[in-house]
Structure 1
Amino acid sequence: MTANKWIIEDTKFEVNNVKETIFTLANGKIGVRGTHEELFEAETPGTYVAGIFDKSEAQVKELVNLPYFWGLRIYIGNEFLNPLECEILDYKRHLNMKEAAIYRYLKVKDKKGRITIIRGIKFLSFKKRNLALAKYEITPENYDEKIYIEHFIDGTTKNSKKNPAEKVKHYKLKNTKVSNDYIYTEAHTRESHYKVSIISFLDCRGNKISKDLDDSITQTVEIFPKKGEKFSVTVYTSIISNREIENLFTENLKELNKAKDMGFEKLFDEHKKELERLWKIANIDIEGDEKADKALRFNIFVLLSMGNPDDEKVSIAAKGLHGEGYKGHVFWDTEIYMLPFYIYVYPKAARAMLMYRYHTLQAAINNARKNGYKGAQYPWESADTGEEETPKWGEDYYGNKVRIWTGDIEYHITADVAVAIVEYLKATNDWDFFLNYGFEILLETARFWSSRVEFNSKKERYEINNVIGPDEFHEHVNNNFYTNFLAKWNILKAIEYTNFVKNNYPKEYEKTIKKVGLTEKEIKHWKEVANKLYIPWDKKSHLIEQFEGYFNLEDKKITEFDEKNMPVWPKGVDLSNLNNYQLIKQPDVIMAMFVLPQEFDDITKKVNYEYYEQRTMHKSSLSPSIYAILGLTIGNHEKAYQHFMRTALVDLENNQGNTEHGIHAASAGGTWQAAIFGFGGMRIENDTLSFHPWLPKHWKSMSYKIIFKENIYNVFITNQNVKITKIPYLK
């Protein structure tokens, strides 16, 4: 990382799949992995358009890896100028987070001693999200020879390229057209029947040749530059799909021509202005800790790259638009980890993401019915339609094939969606959203929980048995604390808002109650379930049992950490039978205290933090940020900072070892929350903002902005004081 707080720098030209993820550009609609333009065999190119899924031979639906459209190769005469076979005289690649652009400088000497300099810049427009722009300046420093510039759209891309058992090509190229003015193709998904239209134009002086090569489309320019003469190449690309319009070729050609008429510089300026508007709210400054400051900014950049206020039919995948990990599916990560950033920084995007849950509400209702329940059961993993997409089979830590049960019995996501709706309403006062959409979701999720419970007549209580909690190491457990606690909260909130809407918005109340068929008899049942739902919490000891029987398991504490400060498995642990130990993958009881902090006193938080922190393996990137926030809450400041840096650097230092498969999107959201709710101390108490910050000693100051109830709050914190100013937020 350079000293410039806005720049992530790469100074070694190589094929590196982790760098491909870090240097991904995305704008909420399109994501393109940070491969080199030349496209080498060992790279894992990825081009993704939000909402474009397909199954074909895959186990479940996947976010489709579409044709790579930023291909560019240089030929001196007929010889490909392959940097991997040249002497690299100088190389720099910069991710400029402020501009959401990649800058590239490459100076190479080939085997004949010819030196070529390439300067490039590329971006995906935040203003016109269908546009991708790239511009290069090329200089033959010490030779006079004919040069070919070949721009290509590669139609050979596949999902799971490096896994022979799972490799799938989800599309076929159709309706390809070539001319001097453009190259055009459509990727038609094989099973889901999506059509993605890609049109490109290579703007460069010289003779142009366009070709349809079946699995790739090229536009090549022949140039005769003099020695030392610099010439420029600009590539305009537009991508739209039949999710938006039907007449793809005609409309996309219009988009391309409009872009060409505007020109690269105007489009870039327009894009940068939109980024500047977003960064004005989103940026956080930490003075006194350059590493933390830049790492936090990178996580915010990732979050800005994934939100799209203009599309209500998509949400954010666990790996963003940055890779194929988790098949591009949406999890609880979105509502619990990422959504708070958008609620307080980019509320239009937050609303769009919650609308995805509304548009998939019927699928959640169908999911509940299929499983024998009422109401809406949101799927553990979802794609475009909102149906359950969790794979049935995976591998354990030894590589053995194992059954994946999360899609069957990890129910808590339904309550997590309800939590997100209430949080959004509290922060935005968006009653239009709540009354027309959110209220209905709240009722249907409460209805699910009231049908999912089982009555234990011997103990005179309702229970939720055979579940997986957030921990996920322990399967088929009874009365998981997090699940039961949030289920009860979900039911009580539905009752509370039913009364509120009935008294304050009678028309909207009648409309929604009639639509969902809610009766007084059903509400009475909800109250009974909430009153009698078993919560495994002995309030005398303050220590909460994660699920029934957890304290009877073999106790193994973490005593060692690796070079990345990540926990090492205690000796003697059988990784194929993690159900037998108290070791947990990620926070569970602690997670409830994070999601609903007002429900727990400080002593309870402290007792449980100290117990579970010693047993948490952090085998999910979702884990450290929660321990950072709770650590600050209970006064364990040193550990909190360690956890914060773990989550902030999860991708920049690849400390989970799997960044090559995509960005850790939930960790990015958790990092922001650790900064704002942890060190920044922001809380909502009795429907108003309050601030209880704590800064590490070496931090001189921290400043941030949030949007709350149509006002922007500018917060400046030092170790001596807190200064808060309020200005109206203009939507």
Structure 2
Amino acid sequence: MWEVIREVYDPKENYIYETLFTLANGFVSIRGIEEFSSTYKPLTFVAGIFDGYKAQVPELVNLPNPFGINLYVENERINIDFLKMTKYQRRLNLRSGVLSSYYELSTLGLAIESERFVSRKSLHRIGIKYTIKSIGFKGKIILENYIDNTTANNLFDPANKVQHYKLQQIGSLKPGIYSVVKTYDRKHKIAISSSLLGVGQNNDNILLDRKYIEIGPNPTELYTCFLNKNSSITIYKFVTIFTSRESEKPFEESVSELEKFVAQGYETELEEHQKAMESIWENVDVTIKGDSSAQLGIRFNIFHLFSCASNDPTVSIGARGLHGEGYKGHVFWDTEIFMFPFFLYTLPNYAKNLLLYRYNTLEGARKNAYATGYKGARFAWESADDGTEVTPKWGVDYLGNPVRIWTADEEIHITADISIAIVNYHIVTGDDEFMKNYGVEILLDTAKFWISRLEYNNNMDRYEIKKVIGPDEFHEHVDNNVYTNYLAKWNILKAYEYYHWLKERDKGKLCLLKTLLGISEEEINKWRLIAEKIYIPRKDNQLLLEQFEGYFNLKDYVVTEFDEKGMPVWPKDLDLSKLQETQLIKQPDVVMLILVLPDEFSYDEMKKNYEYYLRRTMHKSSLSLPMYSIMGLKVGDTRNAYNSFMKTLLVDLENTHGNTHLGFHAACAGGAWQVVANGFAGIRVRKDGELVLDPWLPEHWEELSLKIFWKGVPLKITVRKEEIIIESLRETDVIVKSKLYHLKEGTNRIKI
């Protein structure tokens, strides 16, 4: 199960499939546009290229479209929107990272095959291959190759459309074409070069009468070629992209790389790309025997998730990946809490880069804290290239009314979310050097923020955090959100712990940090005492945590009805403008806390809070279902857990939220992997650093297999109904079903 296939062409569905068929390599992405259609929204992104020109906030720039190509038969452009196709098919091969298309145009006597890839080996290269076959046609075909420099941002929001770049230079490469643009605010230069090769069945050139023209801002080259009956011709399109972020001379680099690409050949680069893809899949693949839908779904989500991973420690992954304009390419808590665990356990070098992005934007976090009257580092709710807050101030509610967006002001838990990812990275990888050079600094500076953000309640002798938004965004301006308070406490205590950890290992480094951050050991020791007095709301000191102070006093609605997709339906008498006054929640909040810090809570607490809050959750975020799925598996609600898992897998494949056209739900994909790894395989790491497996498989699953890295060693874990098979390259310990096992090097079989 390696292919996502589209076999019925409906132009109205193009925008959805553009997301599903996006190809990316962590550096550049190209939407899966139908180049022979007039119904498409071309999006070309390079990670880290943001600009704010005439926009409400900086956004990931939609760069020129290098895929411009037209075919003319009898001087009419081929447009599949208006031509009868005898056969149509597009196939995304997840294993190879190749998108293939087939168009049989019987009225023209032609069939066109195409394939494209964005190289995972040479990140600046994109290759496209077209094979034009005669099925009765004989005559002249005009090929038009161009770079579209008219692209703009906010294609699905035309009232806010803006072009973030200005044209610097276009021209002919003899053969080939190029375009150089420069963003207005950030002054990034982007150079794109493209060239065609065409061969017939005798492998000789068939591109004749080259003509270079400039149509408006678009460099264009046209060729004439001839096709005989029952024969075929092949056109190769080579594209290279460089920017001033990685090169001082992006134009020269782009042209040089194009020449090398053409000389090396399309097929050679494709082969290298596929080898690189195989190497990645060797580490990230999940196999599920007995459930073909789950198998394809998890591979689809994994493919698009790792497609966003960059080797660049100055960029991260936006909420919609590199696949669309949703959330303007901004980075949220989604990255550390939902996506990061996948990379941590399967591609740890990429996980490290995600954390280094936060370190490299630490100055921006410090500016955020200072701008709001606090100390230390406060990470932005929405971050772009420098870490300063870039959340829009205004949006629309469920009724389409303009509303003030308060998340930048109040959804501050992201600061602790990042600290959690840092500590988890250290536990799983054992990377002491990272903690010495980067991690401890972030922990101390984020703790410093929390200390300044706390308010002391003299009457109650406790510390509080007022006027915040937790993960559940239905409720704003609340006091003592339990998720926020608990994580703030945890963050401060971890800073205290790692301060003393560094003191034992590198006193010189610690001395420098104390000077840099303006802290003293006396102050650090006070932090621990303050943290212990942070208020954690509970229902009458019982098992049930109160989402925030006063939550249990709100009007109580319980979800009782569901739509045809099994999603909750709003209660009939509910006023959507007054969600704040109800106990209905958007997504897990208390449940999220328990999942993030599982060792802090008992089984009874997990079960009690899961059952209470599940009945009040509307799942209005794609982040919701995977988390309830994991918790369902932990507390024995396996039927609901499996159903939630399948809905998670299909969020984009079936467009269940109706917004897949805006980009890939990257955090949901990370959540899907977590359901497999932390839910069905039962993998978790205790706070004492022990690796634990407590698996459960659905009845119809025969086997689940995945690989994780633990302390730098790959472990292949295969779960069956009655045994677990663990393949290890060295000896290590693991706890399975509460029993400690010492793994030997090689294959270990454990009965369960």
Aligned to 2:742: none
Q: Does 1:14 pair with 2:15?
A: no
On the 8 A contact 1:38/1:71 being kept in 2, the answer is no
Offset at 1:250? 1.4
Aligned counterparts, 1:62-81, within 5 A: 62-81=59-78
Q: Identity percentage over the alignment? A: 46
Rounded to whole Å, the distance in 1 between the matches of 2:171 and 2:569 is 56
Q: Which of residues 114, 120, 128 in structure 2 aligns to 1:126?
A: 120
What is the 5 A alignment of 1:555-574? Answer: 555-574=556-575
Q: CA deviation at 1:511?
A: 2.9
1:56 aligns with 2:53: yes
Extract unaligned runs of 5+ from structure 1. Answer: none
Is residue 2:640 matched to residue 1:642? no
| Offset, 1:540 | 4.5
Q: Is the 8 A contact 2:183 2:189 kept in 1?
A: yes
Give the AA of the match of 2:119. Answer: S
In structure 2, what is the equivalent of residue 216 of structure 1? 218
Structure 1: distance between partners of 2:93 and 2:340: 24
1:684-723 equivalence runs, <5 A: 684-685=685-686, 686-723=688-725
- Aligned equivalents of 2:233 and 2:433: distance in 1? 54
Q: Which residue of 2 aligns with 1:82?
A: 79
Instruction: Give 2:234's aligned residue.
Output: 232
Q: Note if 1:183 corresponds to 2:177.
A: yes
Further displaced range: 148-157 or 294-303: 148-157
**Which one is further off, 211-220 or 363-372?**
211-220
> What secondary structure sits across from 1:376 in the alignment?
coil
In structure 2, C-alpha distance between the alignment counterparts of 1:118 and 1:301, rounded to whole Å: 27
2: CA distance, partners of 1:288 / 1:570: 37
Give the equivalent residue in structure 1 for 2:23: 25
Match of 1:174 in 2: 168
Matched letter for residue 264 of structure 1:
Y
TM-score, normalised to structure 1's length?
0.97
Give the match's secondary structure for 1:336: helix
Report the counterpart of residue 271 of structure 1 in structure 2: 273
Equivalent residues in 2 for 1:242-261, closer than 5 Å: 242-261=244-263
After TM superposition, list the pairs within 5 Å mapping 1:410-429 onto structure 2.
Answer: 410-429=411-430
Please list, as runs of the form range in 1=range in 2, the aligned pairs for 1:255-654 lying within 5 A after superposition. Answer: 255-308=257-310, 310-538=311-539, 540-654=541-655
Question: Secondary structure of 1:239's partner?
Answer: strand
Structure 2: gaps of 5 or more residues:
199-205, 732-752
Whole-Å separation in 2 of the counterparts to 1:206 and 1:272: 28
Report the Cα distance in structure 1 between the residues aligned to 2:37 and 2:196, rounded to whole angstroms: 18
1:61: Cα distance to partner?
0.8
Q: Which amino acid aligns with 2:718?
A: F
Q: Tell me the CA shift for residue 728 of structure 1.
A: 5.9
Is the partner of 2:18 in helix, strand or coil?
Answer: helix
| C-alpha distance in 2 between matches for 1:71 and 1:481 | 52
Between the aligned partners of 2:522 and 2:673, the Cα distance in structure 1 is: 43
Superposed displacement of residue 650, structure 1? 0.6
Instruction: Note if 1:100 corresponds to 2:111.
Output: no
Distance in 2 (alpha carbons) for counterparts of 1:124 and 1:402? 39
> 2:237, 2:517 → 1: CA distance?
51
The answer to which of 655-664 and 153-162 deviates more is 153-162
Q: Which amino acid aligns with 1:640?
A: A
> Following superposition of structure 1 onto structure 2, how do residues 649-668 of structure 1 map, counting pairs within 5 Å?
649-668=650-669
SS of 1:385's equivalent in the other structure is: coil
Give the Å deviation of 1:149: 1.5
Q: CA deviation at 1:52?
A: 0.8
| C-alpha distance in structure 2 between counterparts of 1:702 and 1:274, whole Å | 24
1:538-567 superposed Cα distances (whole Å, 9 cap, x missing partner): 585201100000000000111111111111
Cα deviation digits, residues 542-600 of structure 1 (max 9, x gap): 01100000000000111111111111111111111210100000000000011111100
- How far apart, in 2, do the equivalents of 1:728 and 1:356 lie? 32
Residue 35 of structure 1 corresponds to which residue in structure 2? 33
Paired with 2:156 and 2:662, the residues of 1 have a C-alpha distance of 11
Q: CA deviation at 1:516?
A: 1.9
Q: Distance in 2 between matches of 1:92 and 1:218?
A: 29
User: Could you tell me which amino acid in structure 2 is paired with residue 93 of structure 1?
Assistant: R
**How many residues are paired up?**
720
Give the whole-Å Cα distance in 2 for the aligned partners of 1:638 and 1:491.
38
CA distance in 2, matches of 1:525, 1:372: 21
Q: Distance in 2 between matches of 1:114 and 1:538?
A: 72
Preserved CA contact (<8 Å) 2:137 2:227: no
- Looking at structure 1, the residues matched to 384 and 169 of structure 2 have their Cα atoms a distance apart, in angstroms, of 27
Secondary structure of the corresponding residue to residue 81 of structure 2 = helix
Provide the C-alpha distance between the structure 2 equivalents of 1:617 and 1:462, rounded to a whole number of angstroms.
31
How big is each residue's C-alpha offset from its partner over 1:162-198, in whole Å with a ceiling of 9 and x where there is no partner?
A: 3232111111222112132221111211222111111
User: Which secondary structure state, in structure 1, belongs to the residue aligned with residue 377 of structure 2?
Assistant: coil
1-side partners of 2:538 and 2:445: how far apart?
27
RMSD after superposition: 1.3
Higher mean C-alpha displacement, 521-530 vs 639-648:
521-530
- For 1:76 and 1:454, how far apart are their aligned partners in 2? 73
Moved more, 374-383 or 496-505: 496-505
Q: 2:61 is matched by which residue type in structure 1?
A: V
Q: Which residue is 2:202 aligned to?
A: none
The 2-side partners of 1:515 and 1:665 are apart by 36
Deviates more, 1:526-535 or 1:700-709: 526-535
Q: Does 1:157 align with 2:155?
A: no
CA distance in 2, matches of 1:539, 1:493: 28
Distance 1:219 1:507 in 2: 62
The SS at the match of 1:84 is coil
* Contact 1:179–1:210 under 8 Å retained in 2: no
The worse-fitting range, judged by mean Cα deviation, of 16-25 and 662-671 is 16-25
Q: Deviations over 1:329-354 (max 9, x none)?
A: 00000000000000111111111111
TM-score (norm 2): 0.94
TM-superposition CA deviations, 1:494-530 (whole Å, max 9, x none): 0001111101232332232232222023213312220
8 Å contact kept, 1:368–1:377:
yes
State the AA in 1 paired with 2:371. Answer: K
How does 1:129-140 map onto structure 2 within 5 Å? 129-140=123-134
Q: Distance in 1 between matches of 2:167 and 2:365?
A: 34
1:122 is paired with a residue of what secondary structure? strand
Q: What's 2:734 paired with?
A: none
